[in-house]
């Protein structure tokens, strides 16, 4: 497991050097309320391993993070009265990641305060799709 780093905010929370409103903890995972919530109940799930992006996380840590999502999101919905919610996970600064330690956002839709994003669908060309799927699966099969 990568060592926590001295200057990472989330590693410092894991070590107890910075406070948080803790919701859940096990050997691999910590969850706590987001300090800048975009809705009531907005919270984070982080692996205890200091890894920057989800694509760099091993199967144990990634599985441990995702295993918490159903129970925690259900508890957040129950506590806030939200009937719907989003799971958000940013990887890389260009994708909106500010804290370079993997984290999942659970964002309940409460009183109209919720995650909003623009999504303009394109059209997948059949030939281009075939080529792209072949390229991705080729790489996938090598890992």
Given the rule CB under 6 A, which residues bind ligand AMP?
A: 9, 18, 20, 34-36, 44, 90, 96-99
Q: Tell me phi and psi for residue 96, to 5 degrees.
A: 95, 10
Sketch the per residue contact string, 47 through 66, with Zn ion: x for CB under 5 A, - otherwise: ---x----------------
d(CA 136, CA 25): 35
Residue 99 site contact among ligand AMP, Zn ion, none (CB < 5 to 8 Å, cut-off depends on kind): ligand AMP
Local structure of residue 57 (DSSP, 8 states): S
The site partner of 91 among ligand AMP, Zn ion, none (C-beta below 5 to 8 Å per kind) is none
- Other beta carbons within 10 angstroms of residue 25's beta carbon come to 13
What does the block give as tokens for 123? 């059209």
Residue number with CB closer to ligand AMP (44 or 61): 44
- At 63 the three-state DSSP class reads helix
Which residue among 28, 42, 48, 101 contacts Zn ion (CB under 5 A)?
Answer: 101
Does residue 30 sit in helix, strand or coil?
strand
Nearer to ligand AMP, 18 or 128 (CB): 18
Residues 113, 101, 4, 31: what is their CA dihedral angle, to the nearest 10 degrees? 30
* HSE-CB for 63 with a 13 A CA cutoff: 3
Question: Catalytic residue at 103?
Answer: yes
Region near Zn ion per CB under 5 A, out of 8-16, 19-27, 60-68, 79-87: 8-16
CB of 100 to ligand AMP, least distance (A): 8
Binding interface with Zn ion (CB under 5 A)? 8, 10-11, 50, 101
Supply the residues annotated as catalytic.
103
């Amino acid at each position: 497991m990568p060592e926590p780093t001295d200057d990472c905010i989330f590693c410092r929370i894991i070590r107890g050097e910075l406070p948080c409103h803790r919701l859940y903890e096990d050997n691999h995972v910590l969850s706590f309320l987001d300090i800048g919530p975009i809705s009531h109940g907005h919270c984070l799930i982080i692996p205890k391993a200091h890894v920057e992006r989800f694509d760099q996380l091993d199967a144990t840590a990634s599985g441990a993070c995702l295993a918490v999502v159903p129970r925690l999101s259900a508890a957040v919905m129950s506590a806030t009265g939200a009937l719907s919610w989003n799971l958000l996970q940013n990887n890389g600064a260009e994708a909106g990641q500010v804290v370079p330690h993997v984290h999942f956002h659970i964002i309940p839709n409460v009183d109209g305060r919720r995650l909003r994003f623009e999504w303009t669908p394109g059209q997948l060309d059949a030939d281009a799709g075939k080529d792209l799927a072949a390229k991705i699966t080729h790489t996938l099969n090598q890992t």
